[in-house]
Amino acid sequence: MTPIHVTTDIQMPAGYSEYEINTDRDIEITFTAKEDSDVFVRILNTGKLKVRTFAPKGVHVNYLFWNLSENLLDVEEMHEVMGDANVTVAYGEINRADTTRNVHMALREEGATGLLSSASLVDCAKTYNMNVVNYAPHTYGDMKNYAVVLRNGRLMIDAVGKIIKGAYRSESHQTSRALSFAEGQNATILPELLIDEDDVQASHAMSMGRVDEDALYYLMSRGLSVQQCTSLISQGYLMPITETLQNDDLKKKLKEEMERKMDELC
């Protein structure tokens, strides 16, 4: 685990690496991958955070940003993906502090592929503005957001997929799902597709709903408490985020962290 306390530029090694952000300062971090990399970033505390990543031609990179901060996390991100590079950026938000996240992923050159993915257990305010922009032909952008909204939770996701003029034969897709356990919980999801080119493929899917009361009753009839039921249902709903990661170490890390934090929060 490499600690990060100040503004820094990181040349990532090949393979798996871990970083931990723990500072009271406003900081800027740049991650540059020269070879295929898998990166786990644990956020314990920070002032305003700016993150930039750069994936050169042909490189495959998976990032998992795991938010454990007990204070507001206010983060601005720019992810640049060059020709034939493949980048996944996943977020784990299983904490009791507000988050404001503004993300821009730029598919700069032909053949670039990018995915933004999040799993959120929401019992405070979580606001995500997420943009994936196809700037070049034959690029592929995707977003997958999963959320469980608990009592007092407030979720806002503005997901924008954009294909600019000239980015022909590109694709932009979105899937957003939010689940609640009771009435009165606040969740807003705005899926947007801004398409300036004809020869493309684009889609979005969005669902919002409450837990099936019969399913909840069935679990409780087997001796489980309301808290245990909430934790199990939440895990099942949010675990699909693990499938967005290609690295087994990151999948295992995410699964373990999610299970532990859900048991604490639910």
Rounded CA-CA distance 50/221 in Å is: 48
- Supply the pLDDT for residue 233: 76
Backbone angle region of 138, left / alpha / beta, with phi > 0 → left and psi within -120 to 50 → alpha? left
Give the count of beta carbons closer than 10 Å to the beta carbon of residue 211.
Answer: 17
- Supply the pLDDT for residue 187: 84
For 37, 94, 150, 186, the CA distances from 182, given in Å and listed in that order, are 41, 19, 8, 10
- Supply the pLDDT for residue 241: 73
* Residue the block writes with tokens 């694709």: 171
Sign of CA dihedral 205, 208, 214, 215: positive
Question: Domain boundaries in the chain?
Answer: 2-211
Torsion from C-alpha of 153, 159, 190, 231, nearest 10 degrees:
-30
- Supply the pLDDT for residue 133: 98
- Supply the pLDDT for residue 65: 94
- Supply the pLDDT for residue 68: 92
Weakly modelled stretches of the chain, pLDDT under 70: 182-185, 212-218, 244, 262-266
Sign of CA dihedral 37, 10, 87, 83: negative
- Supply the pLDDT for residue 164: 97
Token digits for 38? Answer: 């898998």
* Residue the block writes with tokens 């314990």: 44
- Supply the pLDDT for residue 183: 65
- Supply the pLDDT for residue 131: 97
